């Protein structure tokens, strides 16, 4: 039986090294920009969303996914099931404009992410449902009846 598997959307980040064991120039640049640079220059840019943290729980009857995505509305989510691939995405644009006597300030932002999961063939895709509450997206993925684990049974020896 296959387990629920995360499928990277934009490829996986792999550390590149040259023959001498030092990081390559491209990985050095990637690492430089991956650090928390909260300088005046970078703090003025919209950070958007990073990939949200995901908890995956399995019990005898279901898989449950929990994604931490605060500040969204349920209408912001796009959940799609294509064959056995579950895609969860958000694309959100915001714009604030303040007009005052002496100045105009206009700020805008764009946030997005997409996570995909390969579902095992043991799930009942017709009964998948999702609920967004208190910044957590909960996705309930029930297993098919024949995939549910049966309780232990004692076999008598004759």
- Return phi, psi of residue 102, to 5°: -105, -10
* Domain membership flag for residue 70: yes
* Domain membership flag for residue 64: yes
* Domain membership flag for residue 23: no
* Domain membership flag for residue 142: yes
* Domain membership flag for residue 36: no
> pLDDT digit string (tens) for 52-83?
889 999 998 999 999 999 888 899 999 999 98
**With 90 as the cut, is the pLDDT of residue 142 above it?**
yes
Q: Where are the alpha helices (DSSP H) in the chain?
A: 25-34, 40-43
> pLDDT digit string (tens) for 94-128?
777 777 777 777 777 777 889 999 999 899 999 99
Specify the number of domains making up the chain: 1
Domain span including residue 73:
48-147
* Domain membership flag for residue 108: yes
Instruction: Say what the pLDDT of residue 86 is.
Output: 94
**What is the C-alpha separation between 131 and 105, in angstroms, rounded?**
36
In angstroms, how far apart are the furthest CA atoms of the chain?
A: 95
Q: What is the CATH number of the domain that holds 122?
A: 2.60.40.790
């Amino acid at each position: 039986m296959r387990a629920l598997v995360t499928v990277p959307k934009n490829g996986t980040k792999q550390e590149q090294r040259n023959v001498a064991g030092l990081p390559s120039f491209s990985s050095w640049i990637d690492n430089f920009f991956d650090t928390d640079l909260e300088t005046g220059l970078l703090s003025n840019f919209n950070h958007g969303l990073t990939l949200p943290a995901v908890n995956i729980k399995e019990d005898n009857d279901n898989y449950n996914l929990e994604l931490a995505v605060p500040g969204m509305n349920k209408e912001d989510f796009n959940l799609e099931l294509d064959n056995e691939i579950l895609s969860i995405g958000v694309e959100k644009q915001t714009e604030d404009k303040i007009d005052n006597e002496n100045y105009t300030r206009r700020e805008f932002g764009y946030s997005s992410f997409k996570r995909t999961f390969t579902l095992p063939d043991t799930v009942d895709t017709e009964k998948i449902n999702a609920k967004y509450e208190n910044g957590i997206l909960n996705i309930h993925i029930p297993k098919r009846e024949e995939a549910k684990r049966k309780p232990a049974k004692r076999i008598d020896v004759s």
